[in-house]
Structure formats: structure tokens, C-alpha cells
Amino acid sequence: MTDEIQVEIDGVSHTFKEWAEITGINVGTIKDRYYHFKSGTDLIAPVRKRVLLITINEETHTIKEWAAITRLPEPTLRTRYYQLGKRGESLIEPQKCKKRFITINGETHTFREWADITGIDEDLLKCRYHLHKKRGEDLIKPLRRRKK
């Protein structure tokens, strides 16, 4: 039914679909504007895209460009900017990884250090710790070799 509605703009009458084809604007956008009481050329005005430019140390880029420059994920930068309100250098500072210190028999080391000491892969130690909830000696038990 709504596809048959004729909308007049500057003395020319077309359906929503026809205006969309003529202007290249999405038909849904035109309908949305119409139902929000827009009329005339406001119905077919170009869609404005908001581009956020961020200046840090006199260098200006979009969030996408800052993500490429800093190698930080774009969603991380958006979260920092919009939700956390970070600006300037705090927006692009590297992500901080929390080092977890593990104590076994009175010796305290990071996963990386335990991997070097035991010869067990660091990712395997993390998997044992987080996924399998291994602690203490169970965490650094040597790998079992499967019999052929």
C-alpha cells in the first residue's frame, strides 16, 4: 500500500520507490523521513555521514585510520572514545595485559617464566590454569607421552 503513495516534490509526483531510483537514496530512508513528517526536498536530501575526526599531537585522523596506525582494534577505540570518554594520547595507548603471577612451592613466576622453566608451552599452561582449573604442581606436571 505505501509503495503506491504519490509524493510531490517541487511539482513532480512519484512513488517512494521511484524517488529512491531517481535519487539513489534508500527507499526505507525516504519512507522513514516521510513518516517523521519531512516533506519536499527534505525527503530526498543527501544522506549525511558523520565522520569523526580525532586530533592527537597535532595529527588528525578518523577512528578507522587511528586503528590502522596504532594497530588497536577499531571497536576498542570506539569504546574508549564514546563509552569511556578517553581523549588525546589515552585514547591510543597500547592495551595493557595483566600479568598473572603463579606461585608453586613458594616460587612465583608469570606463565611465560613457568613455560621457560618447565619446557611446557605457555598457552598450554594458561589452558590448564583457566580452563581446567589446575593449580600448584598439577599445573606444571610434565606432558604425558602417548604410547603408540
Spatial distance between the Cα atoms of 21 and 37, rounded to a whole number of angstroms: 21
| pLDDT-derived band at 68, boundaries 50, 70, 90 | very high
Spatial distance between the Cα atoms of 16 and 7, rounded to a whole number of angstroms: 7
pLDDT at position 137: 92
3-state secondary structure of 141: coil
CB 24 within 8 A of CB 18: no
Radius of gyration (C-alpha) of the chain in whole angstroms: 29
Q: What is the grid cell recorded at 59?
A: 595529527
Residues of the chain with pLDDT > 70, as a percent, come to 97
Spatial distance between the Cα atoms of 66 and 59, rounded to a whole number of angstroms: 10
Q: Would the pLDDT of 48 be above 80?
A: no
Contacts of 31 (CB under 8 A, 6+ apart): 2, 16
pTM, 2 dp? 0.40
pLDDT at position 2: 60
Average pLDDT over residues 59-72: 92
CB 141 within 8 A of CB 129: no
Q: Which of 70, 65, 112, 130 is nearest to 95 (CA)?
A: 70
CB 46 within 8 A of CB 21: no
Between residues 62 and 3, which one has the greater pLDDT? 62
pLDDT digits (tens, 9 = 90+) for 73-122: 899 998 999 888 999 999 998 877 777 899 999 999 999 999 999 999 98
Q: Would the pLDDT of 1 be above 60?
A: no
Contacts of 11 (CB under 8 A, 6+ apart): none
